[in-house]
Structures are given as structure tokens and as C-alpha cells.
Amino acid sequence: MTSRTPMAILWVTQALESAMIVKILTTGGTIDKVYFDRQSEFEVGEPEIGQILQEANVAIDYEIVPLLKKDSLELTDDDRRLIVETIASDPCERFVVTHGTDTMRTTAQALQAVAGKVIVLTGAMQPARFRSTDAIFNVGSAILAAQTLPPGVYIVINGRVFDPNQCRKNRERNCFEDA
């Protein structure tokens, strides 16, 4: 690195070089949904992120903590308090939270009460079990973001990093966008 190297590149390089663990909390949402033909509906299944990371040959230290197994529309204020308290009380500094997209902003805004940690929320518009899914790309993006972003709360989805106070889910386009 030279004295002309931009500070952002130096910060990212230092973050990647330091030993770190990313703690992954799963809460459910579309990313973990399973389709049952006999019921003609989706249900939240077991977390898929372990399989995604294994198949992608991810070479970082991570720990998966299954916390909830709910559609985000079913999350309550008590569930959000559990997510906030779990992260706030954990000595880990870097988190990825898999979450349903419908109320992801609400949970991200609640998590803004936690200081000094990198908290990245991600999810999917299509279940991870589907052949054509955005889950794999979104998870990979979130893992990288958790390692390189400064402390704060972020939504990482659709190839972008969002401020939870400045984005919204566009149901017509099936993606997140600036508010």
C-alpha cells in the first residue's frame, strides 16, 4: 500500500486481514421457505444459509444461530426485542441476520439501538431451495458487507447496500430501492 491508496481501500484491507468471525442469526422469511404441493402454500423451513455457505466454499469463520422461524409479517415487537438483545449482549462485532423482506426495514430500524457493531440484514424474494433464486447472491453480498462495512445497521439485497431509513421494498419490481 502506498500513501496514495484511498482510505476506504486501506480500511477494507485491514478489516479483511484481521481475524474475525461473522455471526449469522436466522429468523425465517422467504429465504427459508419450503413449498408443499399438497398445501399449495409456503411454510418457513429449516435455515438454508449453512448449505449456501458450504456450497459456496466460504472460507471465513462464521457461526449460525437459528433464532426464529417465522415469516416476517408474523414477527412481533417481542421477536424484535429478542433479535436486538441477542446481538447487543453478544461479544461478536459482526452479524448477518437473515430475515423476511416485508418487515426487514422495521427490524433494521430497531437494531439501530445497538452501537459499535456491524449488522447486515438480508433475505430473498425467492426461496433458497428454488433453482432460480436471489438468496445465494444476497447471502454472499451480506457476508462480504459484514466483513468490510464500518459499524452500523445495513440492508444488503439486490446487489446494493441500503440505509434502513432510506429504502423501501418495491413489490411490483420485486426488489428494494431508495425511498
Report the CATH number that the domain containing residue 172 is assigned in CATH.
3.40.50.1170
Instruction: Give 18: exposed, middle or buried? Use CB within 10 Å, 0-12, 13-18, 19+.
Output: exposed
Q: What is the pLDDT of residue 150?
A: 97
Q: Give the count of domains, the chain.
A: 1
Cell of 111: 437494531
CA neighbor of 49 nearest in space, from 23, 24, 20, 75 = 24
Q: Is residue 4 part of a domain?
A: no
CA neighbor of 92 nearest in space, from 19, 8, 13 = 19
pLDDT tens for 108-157 read 999 999 999 999 999 987 776 666 677 888 999 999 999 999 999 999 99
Distance of alpha carbon 92 from alpha carbon 134, whole angstroms: 27
Q: Is residue 3 part of a domain?
A: no
Distance of alpha carbon 13 from alpha carbon 17, whole angstroms: 6
- For residue 44, pLDDT beyond 60: yes
Tell me the average pLDDT across 53-80: 90
One-letter-per-residue 3-state SS of the chain:
CCCCCCHHHHHHHHHHHCCCEEEEEEEECHHHEEEECCCCEEEECCCCHHHHHHHCCCCCEEEEEEEEEECHHHCCHHHHHHHHHHHHHCCCCEEEEECCCCCHHHHHHHHCCCCCCEEEEECCCCCCCCCCCCHHHHHHHHHHHHHHCCCEEEEEECCEEECCCCEEEECCCCEEEEC
Handedness of CA 136, 141, 146, 148 (dihedral sign): positive
Q: Is residue 9 part of a domain?
A: no
Domain extent for 122: 20-178
Q: What is the pLDDT of residue 18?
A: 47
pLDDT tens for 2-43 read 455 565 555 555 555 445 799 999 998 877 766 655 555 666
